[in-house]
């Protein structure tokens, strides 16, 4: 689900989980993104190995078959992608008017272009810090005003400080940083 702030997902000790982050512009049409921002939904039916999506029962994917799973959802029309949104969020110009572009971005992502860019910049900062780049260098590379601006962005969107991101513990993987593009 689209999130405008870091959140914690409750997971029992005996379970395993992972997430699939779709590329910007990808959406699940029967679940309007605008209604999903900063919330979660329960699948109407879940067994130990299946869940319901779009009226059909689907096997739960795992790390090894996540890309194949997403491909199947795309072929079934349950995940669609608006190439205009992908292009605009990548910085390309559109022939459409500003308001039309903004409506399509919000329809596909649930977020404004500005919010998507802020989240992506914080995600990029988290990756750089995790790779060992100094916070001040991260500030300069990504165009933050100063280290306080970087700190507030990381706290809001990632839920961790620069120091925590530079030294993630083994029990706290940075799973939010991995993304599968469709």
Domain boundaries of the chain, sorted by first residue: 113-173
* 103-112, 127-136, 161-170, range with the lowest pLDDT: 161-170
User: Which burial class, exposed, middle or buried, applies to 25 when counting CB atoms under 10 A from its CB (0-12, 13-18, 19+)?
Assistant: buried
Q: Which CATH class is domain 113-173?
A: mainly alpha
CA 31 to chain centre: 16
Short-list 18, 3, 20, CA closest to 79: 20
Pick from 128, 130, 125: which is nearest to 165 by CA? 130
Band of pLDDT at residue 169, cut at 50, 70 and 90 = low
Confidence at 71, pLDDT banded by 50, 70, 90: very high
pTM of this structure: 0.71
Quick check: 173 pLDDT over 70? no
| 105 pLDDT above the threshold of 80 | yes
Q: How confident is the model at residue 176 (pLDDT cuts 50, 70, 90)?
A: very low
**Cα 38-88-21 angle, rounded to 5 deg:** 40
Give residue-wise pLDDT tens across range 31-48. 777 777 877 777 767 787
pLDDT of 177: 40
Neighbours of 105 (CB within 10 A): 24
Q: At what angle do helices 98-109 and 113-130 cross, to 10 degrees?
A: 60
Calpha distance 146→143 (Å, rounded): 9
Out of 12-16, 54-58, 130-134, least confident range: 12-16
């Amino acid at each position: 689900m689209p999130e405008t702030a870091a959140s914690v997902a409750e997971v029992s000790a005996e379970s395993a989980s992972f997430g699939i982050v779709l590329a910007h512009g990808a959406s699940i049409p029967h679940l309007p993104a605008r209604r999903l921002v900063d919330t979660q939904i329960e699948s109407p039916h879940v067994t130990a190995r299946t869940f319901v999506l779009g009226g059909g029962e689907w096997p739960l994917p795992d790390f090894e078959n996540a890309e194949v799973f997403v491909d199947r959802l795309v072929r079934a029309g349950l995940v669609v992608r608006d190439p205009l949104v992908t292009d605009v969020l990548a910085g390309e110009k559109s022939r459409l008017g500003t308001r039309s572009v903004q409506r399509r971005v919000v329809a596909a992502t649930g977020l404004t272009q500005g919010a998507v860019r802020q989240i992506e910049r914080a995600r990029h900062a988290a990756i750089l810090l995790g790779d060992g780049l100094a916070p001040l260098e991260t500030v300069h590379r990504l165009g933050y005003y100063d280290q306080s601006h970087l700190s507030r962005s990381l706290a809001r969107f990632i839920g961790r400080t620069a120091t925590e991101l530079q030294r993630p513990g083994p029990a706290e993987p940075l799973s939010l940083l991995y993304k599968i593009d469709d």
